Chains A and B, each alone.
Chain A
């Protein structure tokens, strides 16, 4: 019966499975429980937003999925195989663009491509151009990084992350440092690119509205120790506008859940 039900649902395959991941950071003075037994399944083609106050382990979880950090217990499966280190299948984008200042825009995008085997020089350049075009910056191919605005830098970083054609894009508050107008443009771009390129995206933010605007699913985290509190399904058509009324409904729902959890935690501490 169950099998039939699942067959008919036609759920896409599991892309990322986080299984009971815990992580401690031990410094000389204290030990921080960054993640406590976090489990999460992300399907192929999903756009999942991780949201929560700062310090609740969102970046840590993203780094573990990327393979940049190793969990103390539990594991992450990508396509069913345990993640043991970084891989081209999962590209990461950071809050600061992390672009390389000694390279021009083109060479930044080429950096990951050069590490990909079986590509000829000419093909690499073509691929890089395609992605620079996709983010609307092919005119700035020869520009230096310091000449770009914050929004342009994040676009180049996006092109660089997309260029090796990863199936999964991990984004750690990529728009947090940008002004509101630039951010709105990028919301549009990232949704368009996600649909066109059919990526699986895990997007970390502390901005609830941003999470509701971008995600098919919003996963709410709470701190001390980092845990998943609640998951929300956002059933809104795309492209979504961050200022729409429908969206406000979802974001206020998530916001009140966030406050409820924070209050109950405070009560716990007080009591």
Chain B
């Protein structure tokens, strides 16, 4: 209760200071809009449906690409951990590409796919994929061999052992790889949306960029706030359940 009060007081104070500073007119209102005008922008945007639509476009790209990244990344990581030949080939590529900031995929994606949804998806997949591959690979390698031995004595065979023992045993690593993949994908998608206009759909990044072109600072800040909120929500919805599970079972500290 006391904590909530402190939090509320802090943010009210912050907004109050912001408003007060704007009123002193030290800066041009074009550069520093008042919190009220930002709120008005968000309200109007929500009423017209523009903001919902842009959020939807962005989230769709992100989720589809992310799921694809997971669907390919997980098995690839298992392969590189299991087979020396995959480790020496695919594993090396994954290691290299993971060091590449994922926004660097944008120019290539545009040349290959043009200004299309496919280009956006490609950027998101590349942002996700390599983190997931590397994390899964690492996770599998740290699984104590005794787990697989114990499972074998209980009658578990190859595929069963992989699905029921090796993968769940690697979960702490896989989840942190999933988080990293998400962060990379989210950042690079925003960069891509700001960087190029995709005619098939205006995402949050596009709106942010228009805000700049129109010199509409209330729009710029309003969109930034929405991007922050989406990031926080995604963390809560996508990863909190996993982290609670890891904490309950492994007793590892939440980070």
> Would A112 and B146 be within 8 Å (CB), given that A101-B250, A102-B168 are in contact?
no
- Chain A hits for B251, CB < 8 A: 144, 146-147
Contact (Cβ within 8 A) B154 A91: yes
Q: Does the CB pair A115–B154 fall under 8 Å?
A: yes
Q: How far is the CA of A57 from the CA of B28 in the complex (A)?
A: 82
Which residue, of B153, B248, B251, has the highest number of chain A Cβ atoms within 10 A? Answer: B153
Please indicate the chain A residues that have their CB under 8 angstroms from the CB of B146 in the complex.
94, 96, 98
In-complex Cβ contact of B248 among A68, A111, A115, A144 (8 A): A144
Whole-angstrom distance between the Cβ of B186 and the nearest chain A Cβ: 28
Cα distance A129–B153 when bound, in Å? Answer: 21
Interface string of B155-194 (1 = CB under 8 A from A): 1100010001100110100000000000000000000000
Chain B interface category by residue count: 20 to 34
- A112 touching B169 by the CB < 8 A rule? no
- Chain B residues within 8 Å of A64, by CB: none
Q: Is the CB of B250 within 8 A of A146?
A: yes
B8 interfacial contact with A, CB 8 Å: no
B149 at the interface (CB under 8 A from A): yes
Chain A residues in 8 Å Cβ range of B31? none
Q: Which chain B residues lie closer than 8 Å to A111 at the CB level?
A: 151, 154, 164
Is A51 an interface residue, CB under 8 A from the partner?
no
Q: Does A124 contact B (CB under 8 A)?
A: no
- Residues A148-198 near B (CB distance < 8 A): 160, 164
Q: How large is the interface on A (under 10, 10 to 19, 20 to 34, 35 or more residues)?
A: 20 to 34
Residues of A within 8 A of B153 (CB): 66-68, 86, 90-92
Those of B225-255 within 8 Å (CB) of chain A: 248-251
A102:B154 contact, CB within 8 angstroms: no
Alpha-carbon separation in the docked complex, A146 to B247 (Å): 10
Q: Is the CB of A68 within 8 A of B149?
A: yes
How many whole Å from B17's CB to the nearest CB in chain A?
Answer: 46
Within 8 Å CB of A160, what residues of B? Answer: 154
**B104 at interface, CB cutoff 8 A:** no
Q: Which chain A residue has the least Cβ–Cβ distance from B151?
A: A111
Considering only residues 5-37 of chain B, those with a C-beta below 8 Å from chain A are none
The answer to whether the Cβ of B152 comes within 8 Å of any Cβ in the partner chain is yes
Q: A98 contacts B155, CB within 8 Å?
A: no
Chain A residues positioned under 8 Å from B210 (CB to CB): none
State A102–B164 Cα separation when bound (angstroms): 10
In the assembled complex, which residues on chain A have CB atoms less than 8 Å from the CB atom of B151?
111
Interface positions of A from 91 to 130, Cβ below 8 Å from B: 91-92, 94, 96, 98, 100-104, 111-112, 115-116
Contacts of B155 in A (CB 8 A): 86-88, 112, 115-116, 164
List residues of chain B with CB within 8 A of the CB of A164: 154-155
Q: Which residues of B contact A17 (CB under 8 A)?
A: none
Complex formed: what's the CA distance from A68 to B155 in Å? 11
Which residues does chain A contribute within 8 Å of B152, judged by CB atoms? Answer: 68, 86
CA distance A66 to B160 in the complex (A): 19
Bound-complex Cα distance A164 to B155 (A): 10
15 contacts between A and B (CB under 8 A): A68-B149, A68-B152, A92-B150, A98-B147, A98-B149, A98-B150, A101-B250, A102-B169, A103-B249, A115-B155, A144-B249, A146-B249, A147-B251, A160-B154, A164-B154
* Chain B interface residues toward A at CB < 8 A: 144, 146-147, 149-156, 160, 164-165, 168-169, 171, 248-251
Binding site for B on A (CB under 8 A): 66-68, 86-88, 90-92, 94, 96, 98, 100-104, 111-112, 115-116, 144-147, 160, 164
**Besides A68-B149, A87-B155, 14 other A-B contacts (C-beta < 8 A):** A67-B153, A88-B154, A88-B155, A92-B150, A94-B150, A98-B144, A100-B150, A102-B249, A104-B249, A115-B154, A115-B155, A115-B156, A116-B155, A144-B251
